[in-house]
Chain A
Amino acid sequence: MLPHARLPMLLLPAAVLLAACSGGDASSSANGDGTSASSAGAVVVYSGRSEDLVEPLLTKFTAETGIPVEVRYGDTAELAAQLIEEGEASPADLYFGQDAGALGALDAAGLCATLPDGVASAVPARYRSADDTWTGITGRARVIAYDPRQVPEADVPTSVFELTDPKWRGMVAIAPTNGSFQAFVTAMRVSQGDDTTRDWLQGLVDNDVQTFEKNSLIRDAVDTGGAALGLINHYYWYQKAAEIGADNMNVQLAFAKPGDPGALVNIAGACVLSPSDNAAGAAELLTWMLDPSTQEWFVNETWEYPLVEGVAAPSGIPPLADLQGPDIALAELEDLPGTLAMLQDIGLT
């Protein structure tokens, strides 16, 4: 038996060795100071956006400004929950998230610091918080994904209110637990009122709506024909196209008519965190993300809408101005709990 003991006994020191190596490559957060996990002047970012996207971006930032950045990747909502749990002891300086709901929750928990004057002034007021605690960086449109084999282009609804029509029974897909859907419902409540929203939601349920956990699963379901129509964000289409090629996809995108709740433009945004000890660095990073050249980069990489004047929108999709969904400021979408309560009442979450 003893010879076999050697193998695991060897693993343990090997593991420690590996840990030392990999820990060394990583940020110096393994040093003794708990409140500041950064080496000199580094900005610690908690990013709910993917590494694929953010890594090259931040590398560019560091190259241009010389400020090192350490990034922690995770799920937008789970990172926000972690930040709230960490509270004042958090090592993070900047939060970069995928939707306004998470930013609103951080703001409500008092974790967002006021942005320096002029930082966010480049962004239209409707895409940032009322008290300048967080701002959108890029815009993402709500769209109706449709399967052309089941629904000819001409027949695709132009308003979400058409989705409760019996002819779409069982063919519509939504993701009620997803932040973007909930933001969309909140916008509907703000612009159309609670009663209309509730009726519409109930109508969906009565119409045998299919529920999914994520937008990507909706898109895939429409692509394979499991559903005919789905409410997702526009860039999911581009994400899949980048993976397998547009020619290999069935699903297509349709935009709701202007003013319709289905034409809501949500944001991916960021905020400087109040527990941060490098607010200056964080603010600089945030400003840089709103810089026109960075905004252009976003447009090219993700097909999201720039929020800053003077940057060209992605081609092939309606310009931002045409898409003004409900006439509300995103900051008004902070009543997430109310939306959740409604969704729970209806039985969708």
Chain B
Amino acid sequence: MTGLQVAGVGAGYGGEPVVRDVSFGVEHGRLLAVVGASGSGKSTLLRAIAGFIPVSSVIIRIGDRLVTGPGVAISPEHRSVGIVTQDGSLFPHLTVARNVGFGLPRRTLSDGTPTADRVRELLSMVGLSDVGSRFPHELSGGQQQRVALARALAPNPEAVLLDEPFSALDAGLRSELGHEVRQVLRDARTTAMLVTHDQDEALSLADHVALLVDGRIAQQGSPRDLYERPANLAVASFLGEVNVLPVLALEPDGDPRTALGVIPVSAPVSAAKEVVVRPEQVVLTRVPAAPSLGGQPPAGNDTRGRVAAIVYFGHDSIVDVELADRVIVRARVLGDSGLAVGDEVRVSVCGHGQPL
């Protein structure tokens, strides 16, 4: 069953459309992340789906209902779409409980349960059972976002749209809250679309990812698809660091020879193209200062370089290695690399490279 489907969406504010020909679908209960840099048009897309922006083109379905289409343009309040904005947009003049219950009938729901019960249920779902009588300005940023989510879920919408909901929060809080929100959405079995510029969020929270570049979808698929098999350089470089290696020659078995030697590839590559290797695929081994006597000649793929820079992050380190001809390759090493600037290292590639 489709949770959310858009086809051929172009949207903008009069004049040039900001997004063009965007098509994707999300299954019911799944979370789609729309990723892109600032200015790529993702918030515009979100607002178009929510119904706040006129769309110049074809189809938007929410649940099984056509909300935008030829001759159909349902207003936002009837679309059954909840939104969570970047700063939550809680109504400052209402208590938390009144905020959460805003989209519900005042006293009792249509099935007879008291509204207050549902509000309590939602608040406990987001882990905020005891703040019902407080005002939004008394809560922290993370708490406000959780209330905003509870509020959006209260009327059981067909879909929830989240517009960069975590970008205003601290880094640590961001990932923790992100996973909590994901869990809440999963428990509620609500389709969700998350708009973000943060690749970590997109990859870790989503079931399906669409990358927007300049208003168009550059690639969509599972997180693994996008990360491990990027369609082009833009996709590859947005979702993580990349080493772009031009193909120097093709080996007889079809594997390309690059500055890092011969690399197996996941798909056929032609001679004039490039191969992408992620930093975590680059393996560095320190070469002892004095070569061993009777040392072995270098193996076939034995590329050497000198450590040019190291950045230590605690959980990993980024090491830039300078190869012959001033070519720089970036490697990611778990924990402390044990290397120092100036060390000579042997560089090899683990796993497959991605042809572009």
Q: Do chains A and B touch in the complex (CB under 8 A)?
A: no
